[in-house]
A and B are shown apart, each in its own frame.
Chain A
Amino acid sequence: MLISRRQFLKLASLSTIGAVACNFFDEEEFIAQSPVRLPEDLVTGIDNWYATNGNGPETEGLLVRVIEGRAKKVQGNPLFPTNKGVSSIRSEALLQELYHPDRLSGPMVRTGPRGSKESFVSSGDWDKSLEILYKKLYSLVDHDQMLMITGAKRGSLAFLIQEFTNTYGGNHAVCKSVDELVYENTIKKVFQQEKFPHFDIAKSDFILSIGGDFLGTWLSPIKHGRGWGEFRQGEGRSRGTLIHVDSRFSLTAANADEWLPITPGQEGKLALSIAFVLLDEGLIDKTIADDLTEGQGSRALIDFAPDTIGDQLGIPHVRHRSTPDIIRETARAFAKHGQKSLAIGGGNAAAHTNGSFNMNAIYLLNHLVGSVNTEGGIIFNPSAPIPELNVSLKPNSMIEMESITKKITDGGVKLLLIHGSNPVYSMPADLRFKEAINRDDIFVVSFSSFLDETSQMADLILPDRVTLESWSNDIPDPGPGFQVVSMGQPVVNPLPGINPMAFGDILVRMGHELGMTDNPTFNNASYYDLLRNHANRLFSLQRGSITKPNFDAFWNTLLQRGVWWDLESIGDNQTLEIPSLIDTIKQKSEPAITGPSGSTHNIFYLVPFEHISLTDGTNAHMPWLQSTPDPITSVAWTSWIEMNTDTAKGLAIKEGDIVNIEGANGETISAQVYHHPAVPPTVVSMPFGQGRKSGDVYSKDRGPNPMEILGMPHDKHTGSLAWASTTVRITKTQERTPIPKFEGIVPAYATSEEEAIAKVTNES
């Protein structure tokens, strides 16, 4: 090998300096590059912070630090009314989505058998790939045979998807298994609201939370967290109290002043029992009480008297009190703070066959103490400032998904477009979605940026731009109680060699080429133009936080701030009708728990939960999210099953033992046991989010997903998946592997009373 003098010098300096100091001496270390063109705002070594928005289920206003065209750090946008300058772990990981080693570099077509990673080859340039899609859309005779499956979307993209399916004539479905349908339905019934309301946690004095892990994963944890800091130690207020009722020890339970374990599915009865105490002891306004009960007073709820139903709820003797006493004390504490008391619930309380009953009962409590539309209570959110942005694509229920899957199985769908969701992975295994689309007469187009379980089944993959590269807007849901429109801009360009195309652009172009131009939406040159048009509508309102004489100035300010809001436009609080409590009482039903039968000593309620960072598994390919320790168990990179320490010891199961878990549908998965001192003895818990069968090195083979053994029980009223309503049989296997967890990495360094690390006082 010939070495030039220059190379020799490089090698020589490499070895000397490399031995002394740090690493990474790349070729680039020795050059200073003159780019051909240099944008004015690019100063080498100086960072720019661009405002944009996160694209997840909860909208976050973000600031992204960009140095020399590379995104370096994501932080919250301080102007943004919901997250106010902070960000979640999920937003942090947008950087890894952007620079993920396994991102698809461009459009791909399938050449081999369906479902194999090796079947895909690059399909060349975009024009060629879009031609394939165009031909499929054009040649489809019966447009009813087109089905588009997307994730839950809001803002202009939701509008565009809706316009496309309406104009073209196809069908549309939103696929998300851990959905908020029951909650949404409850809000409609109890408060007659379309939009999720804002919980005024910051100004509340007492929160009774049932089921929903609102500090961890439920709805909008970052927004709740902003309120939480104030709730606990805000200036000029006394410390708020949280009582959390939950069948598992969630992050919210860990932070509550009191955690009341309960038998899964009994949450509604508890709420009505509390209502009984409120009425019976005359703790609330008599007129409200009469309105709600049609004049019957506590007699209407006599079946729910604490002494009558106390034994059915499964609440243990927390602080050595009997269950009826616990209910009465909780009710009194709740009533004491009047309009500053908040009753919220969701999560596993809603994920039962009687979920709607549970949720109705919980939210009615707010009416009893009058904390609806008041400071420190539940505050309604207005609809979007312009109708185009009011479109919100909400998940379809499990029953609807069943009929959609049946239609695919029966050959009723010839063209399937899938964007922003991974139904093969995230839907319960019993839906058999993968088997449904595994047929020859269906053409599947995926818009995923990664090869996941669903895109692997596709015929054509047209990778979308990732969040930090795309134009977007969004309406936060739940919002902060007034109108907010968030705006997202590309903060960086795709890396060289990565050639994605925005989904919105593809839809606009297809609409245009298919001659759908009667609909003005498809007269836009691009998705960007559509966003600008919608922003123009917003500009012409001439109100809110940005008022400018001309649109260009408005647009620039909007991009700079990343958000528009109008404090004056608040939720509708005029037409509130208080629903009758009697209706809810009539709905009373016991949860139908399904599961294996036989001897009961090893049968447990299965209460799954959303993983703190992976949530339902859509983010499982981000290494940071995988390496985030679960806050309670500190387990990372794997799935686990939480068992009460004493119960596990009783079954001779050690920590790390692999157990077989037989579920409601007869299937069995196996997972490692974590000894958890705070899980109720009758319950085991498992996180959603792992169990990816294909995909990249980060997400693959990381333990099972409880979705595989749930079967498909559903809420009676909404058809939403009742994912907390099954039991499982646990049987020990002979295998055992250590659990990857942070716990124990740092040796216990001070645990005696005097040297306590986390000191506690009882004076606030």
Chain B
Amino acid sequence: MAIQHKWGMVIDIDRCTGCQACVIACQAENNIPVNEKVDFLSRRAKQWIRIDRFWEGEYPNIKARFIPVLCQHCENAPCEPVCPVFATYHNNEGLNVQVYNRCVGTRYCANNCPYQVRFFNFFNPKFPESLKNQLNPDVTIRSRGIMEKCTFCIQRIRRAERTIEGKEGRVLNDETMRDGNYNPACVSACPTETLTFGDLNNPNSQVVKKSKNKRNYRLLENLGTDPNVIYLKKVDPHHQKEGHHA
């Protein structure tokens, strides 16, 4: 019998402290070259997951809101139909896939992504010789001229499928995924358990349970992109009305 997974993530922004642990964990896992000073200055820093910070109110009644933003893996993704070479598409596991070897670098997808989570390699990545020892052999190093973005750490999912489902013949669910260190790097690193990863098709999974929370919403819901990343609203007892400024 075929097992059909649909990967998804729940992000409870009431738990998020904005500590950036997920950002660096992602860079370490996915062979993202270090964002140099010049990358920040030229606005080309790559962070597959980033923490957006919004200000709300004026001093002294001022609040900072943190929200981790990564590829939303939309069911109805705006980036997909604009790719002339089908390098990005939605697969039957709920993932928005970027196929590096198909990509020709038109950057249409990044232009069409409302969440701004796609990053273009303007240059070949550079790693100091000795630091290459740290590179993850499971992840392709993206060369100049192609797009890259969050993959939900597909390399870990694939390992989990090979090992847990294949070799060991066990069921792939929340517990086996976590115990084998197969959760995405950001999820594994988050100190406050803001991020939860799992199978949206499994009614017993944590993501399904948490996504039923009454605080749930999706980013830019009115665009109808139907993301597989579900957010839970921040709670602020003193909050007056919805809305904030950047």
Contact = CB atoms under 8 A, between A and B. Distances in A.
Interface of A: 20-24, 45, 49, 63, 65, 67, 70-76, 78, 83, 85-89, 92-93, 95-96, 98-101, 103, 215-216, 221-222, 225-226, 228-229, 232-233, 239, 241, 249, 251, 254-255, 257-259, 261, 316-319, 495, 612-613, 623-625, 627-629, 631-632, 634, 636-638, 644, 646, 677-681, 738, 740-764
A762 B237 CA distance: 5
Interface string B205-246: 000000000010101101000000001111111111111111
Shortest Cβ-Cβ A-B pairs, 10 listed? A225-B191, A229-B192, A753-B243, A740-B40, A254-B64, A758-B65, A637-B37, A631-B18, A316-B60, A758-B67
A627 B35 contact: yes
Given A216-B19, A232-B14, A749-B115, A760 B131 contact: no
A612 B134 contact: no
A53 to B, nearest CB: 17
Nearest to A319: B61
B87 interface: no
Interface residues of B, number: 97
Contacts of B220: 749-750, 755, 757
B54 A757 contact: yes
B92 interface: no
Contact of B20 (A65, A72, A89): A89
B143 to A, nearest CB: 5
A86 B21 contact: yes
B192 A318 contact: no
Interface in B27-52: 27-29, 34-37, 40-41, 43-45, 47, 50-52
B115 A636 contact: no
B134 A96 contact: yes
B231 to A, nearest CB: 7
B58 interface: yes
User: B24, B124, B236, B242: which has the most chain A beta carbons within 10 Å?
Assistant: B24
Interface string B133-150: 111110011111000000
A395 B129 CA distance: 37
A74 B15 CA distance: 23
B238 A225 contact: no
A738 B38 CA distance: 11
B158 interface: no
Contact of A226 (B25, B66, B191): B191
Interface of B: 12-15, 17-21, 23-25, 27-29, 34-37, 40-41, 43-45, 47, 50-56, 58-67, 69, 100-101, 114-116, 124-125, 128-137, 140-144, 178-179, 181, 185, 188-194, 215, 217, 219-220, 222, 231-246
Nearest to B216: A759
User: A75, A316, A740, A756: which has the most chain B beta carbons within 10 Å?
Assistant: A756
A216 B62 CA distance: 19
Contacts of B44: 745
8 contacts: A22-B140, A232-B192, A629-B51, A678-B55, A740-B41, A741-B40, A751-B54, A759-B217
A75 B63 CA distance: 31
A759 B231 contact: yes
A90 B191 CA distance: 13
A750 B235 CA distance: 20
Contacts of B132: 99
B240 to A, nearest CB: 8
B99 to A, nearest CB: 12
A683 to B, nearest CB: 11
B24 A93 contact: yes
A255 B47 CA distance: 23
A23 B124 contact: yes
A99 B130 contact: yes
B119 to A, nearest CB: 10
Contact of B234 (A631, A746, A758): A758
B18 A99 contact: no
Nearest to A743: B53
A222 B231 CA distance: 23
A632 B219 CA distance: 22
Contacts of B51: 629, 631
A702 B18 CA distance: 24
Given A254-B66, A740-B40, A758-B54, 13 more contacts: A22-B101, A85-B188, A249-B64, A318-B60, A495-B133, A623-B34, A627-B45, A631-B66, A637-B40, A678-B62, A749-B114, A758-B13, A759-B233
